[in-house]
A = this chain, B = another copy of it.
């Protein structure tokens, strides 16, 4: 019943705990977690992870979840001969929360209705992250109120002339006459396939 401990198993245990509890375990908790009965044994393994750089401490000395394997194994056991997912950017993703949202205090999420942006790969039911207060650039996908209705459109600008375009030929471009209220710029799209 005593499984062999390795830096890998220890790291996995830590990741599992973190995912469940939203925090790192204390040394006492790690005793159970790792299956040892002394804190020094815990310290032994933690030190190994620290020395190998697979675990870090912040400025206060608290353990902090690091790069891979904590939020989930981004680059884990991939089928042999598989196209390498070992891009730098992927390896450095701490979590999707960090990756997806630059300005959390100015962002919110909407669920997409309608098919006006299918050409952009945004389908009904998808989630979009919208950032308020950002100056839309030409070609950005924005959420705006046009003629009293909220929609998602491409933002097109030529000089002072603003046009809102759908990414679906079924919808004609809109040239807002009166007011144009822009809720924000779409910064990310998320789709989950529910089982």
**A→B interface (CB under 8 Å):** 12, 15-16, 19, 21-24, 26, 29, 58, 60, 62, 64-65, 71-79, 81-83, 85, 87, 90, 93-102, 104-105, 107-111, 113, 118, 121-123, 126-127, 132, 140-141, 145, 150, 181, 183, 185-193, 195
Closest to A182 in B: B79
- Kindly list chain B residues whose C-beta atoms are within 8 Å of the C-beta of A122: 121
Q: How close is A17's CB to chain B, nearest CB, in angstroms?
A: 11
A79 B183 Cβ-Cβ under 8 A: yes
Bound: A22/B57 CA distance, A = 11
- Kindly list chain B residues whose C-beta atoms are within 8 Å of the C-beta of A145: 79, 81
Query: Oligomeric state, in number of copies?
Result: 2
Beyond A72-B104, A76-B108, A104-B71, whether A121 also contacts B192 by CB under 8 A is no
B58 A21 Cβ-Cβ under 8 A: yes
- Kindly list chain B residues whose C-beta atoms are within 8 Å of the C-beta of A98: 19
Q: How close is A179's CB to chain B, nearest CB, in angstroms?
A: 12
Bound: A185/B193 CA distance, A = 10
Q: Which of B16, B75, B190 contacts A189 (CB 8 A)?
A: B190
Q: How close is A89's CB to chain B, nearest CB, in angstroms?
A: 8
Closest to A194 in B: B187
Q: How close is A9's CB to chain B, nearest CB, in angstroms?
A: 11
B181 A108 Cβ-Cβ under 8 A: no
Bound: A149/B21 CA distance, A = 40
- Some 23 contacts from A to B, beta carbons below 8 A apart, are A15-B104, A16-B104, A19-B104, A21-B64, A26-B60, A72-B104, A73-B107, A76-B108, A77-B132, A78-B108, A79-B145, A83-B110, A83-B113, A87-B111, A90-B109, A93-B109, A96-B96, A96-B100, A121-B121, A121-B123, A140-B193, A185-B193, A189-B191
